[in-house]
Structure 1
Amino acid sequence: MLTTNDIAKVYDTILSIPGMNETVKIDLRISRKNVLLLNSVIERGLKVKDDDKSSNLLNSVPQETLQELKALAGDCLQKAGLIELNEKLTSLGS
């Protein structure tokens, strides 16, 4: 059985493969519903990192990479015209 530390090392190794920092262009066409869900999943994943620093694999990911991921989620919301709706849904969930 692999421990959390072993899995983190494997994940870190994969992220350090040459070319992983290269920018790629992705033509992505998804429904607005899936944009909202994607944003929610990203936010939840980043929140877990902040809440549970001991067991999360994202601890090995640099903060700037996580900020880029958060910006991507926000950009998807903006392009889909869902920023205001997402803010209202978030306030309902609080």
Structure 2
Amino acid sequence: MLTTNEAAQVFDTILSSPGMNDAVRIDLRISRKNVLLLTHVLEQGLNEKQESKIGLFASASADAKQELKELSDDFLQKAGLMELSEKLKAIATSK
């Protein structure tokens, strides 16, 4: 097994390899339900405490994390689910 430091070095190497910053076009059709689930997973990963992060999220730069946040918001906007998502977050935080 790799130690945490070794795993971080491997992920950092993968993320910095040539071509990883190239933009790609993805034509994706998914249900609104899955858009909500996907954006929730992204937000959970981005909101985790730094100490508990392992893998690619731990190695991602602040710019990459911001881009993922913007992508998540874009998914919600295109699916017409921004308001619903905000209301669901309010319900989740109120309990």
- Do Structure 1 and Structure 2 share a fold, with TM-score over 0.5? yes
Q: Say which SS state the counterpart of residue 54 (structure 1) adopts.
A: helix
Q: Any gaps of 5 or more consecutive residues in structure 1?
A: none
TM-score by length of 1: 0.92
Q: What one-letter code is carried by the residue in structure 1 that aligns with 2:82?
A: I
Shift of 1:56: 1.6
Task: For 1:1-94, list aligned pairs within 5 A.
Answer: 1-48=1-48, 51=49, 53-57=50-54, 58-94=57-93
Q: What one-letter code is carried by the residue in structure 1 that aligns with 2:41?
A: V
Alignment identity in percent?
58
Q: Any gaps of 5 or more consecutive residues in structure 2?
A: none
Q: Say which SS state the counterpart of residue 22 (structure 2) adopts.
A: coil
Shift of 1:28: 0.6
Q: What one-letter code is carried by the residue in structure 1 that aligns with 2:74?
A: D
TM-score by length of 2: 0.91
RMSD, aligned CA: 1.0
After TM superposition, where is structure 1 displaced by more than 2 Å over at least 4 residues in a row? Answer: 57-60
